[in-house]
Amino acid sequence: MTLSRPPKQLRLIIETDDFDSALRFYRDVLGLPEQPAFATDGEDRVAILNVATATIELATPTHVRNIDAIEDAPSSKGPTLRIALEVDNTEAAMTSVEEFGLEVLAPPRRTPFETINGRVQGPDGWQVTFFQELETLQERTRKKGFTTDVDRAR
């Protein structure tokens, strides 16, 4: 049985020991607008930051390692969660986060799937990839290798 309607929002909850640093990164450096959120007092702190669109990307370990190789970025051990954020300009995003003091794991590079990707070590151990689309989804869909899983040859 499926839901009568798909979920309306994807919310990724990142538990952080350095709340102020994480908030500065996501809200102030990346510019994600903060919306009101409920918390009590003292150390009970929360910030809900809005990203206009969210997707869930499911990937096999082989695919994750292939992306690591394309980006020339280090692989993590075991199953991981990563954050990937679409930006207008990957170079500018990387410059901003470097100025914030984050470690660059992979400098911006053009990928075979027509994006410019760069990766940093984000707050609290999360890897954050910035990607800039160079083609529309419609243009990409017409290229070899781009299909849905159900239609992919095995």
Mean pLDDT of successive 10-residue stretches along the chain, which has 154 residues: 75 89 93 90 90 88 92 84 90 93 96 92 87 90 78 74
| Spatial separation of the C-alpha atoms in residues 109 and 71, rounded to whole Å | 7
pLDDT for the residue 23: 93
Confidence (pLDDT) at 140: 83
Instruction: Specify whether the CB–CB gap between 16 and 123 falls below 8 A.
Output: yes
Buried b (16+ CB within 10 A) or exposed e, 127-147: bbbbbbeeeeeeeeeeeeeee
CB-based contact 118:90 (threshold 8 Å): yes
Residue 112 pLDDT: 86
> What's the CA gap between 31 and 4, in Å, rounded?
34
Beta-bridged to residue 104, according to DSSP, are: 120
Residue 131 falls in which region: left (phi positive, over 0), alpha (psi -120 to 50) or beta: beta
**Residue 84 CB contacts under 8 Å (≥ 6 apart), including other chains:** 57, 128, 129, 130, 131
Residues 6+ apart with CB under 8 A from 56: 10
* Phi-psi group of 133: left, alpha or beta (phi > 0 → left; psi -120 to 50 → alpha; rest → beta): beta
Q: Residue 3: its pLDDT value, please?
A: 63
d(CA 123, CA 23): 9
Task: Give the model's pLDDT for residue 150.
Answer: 76
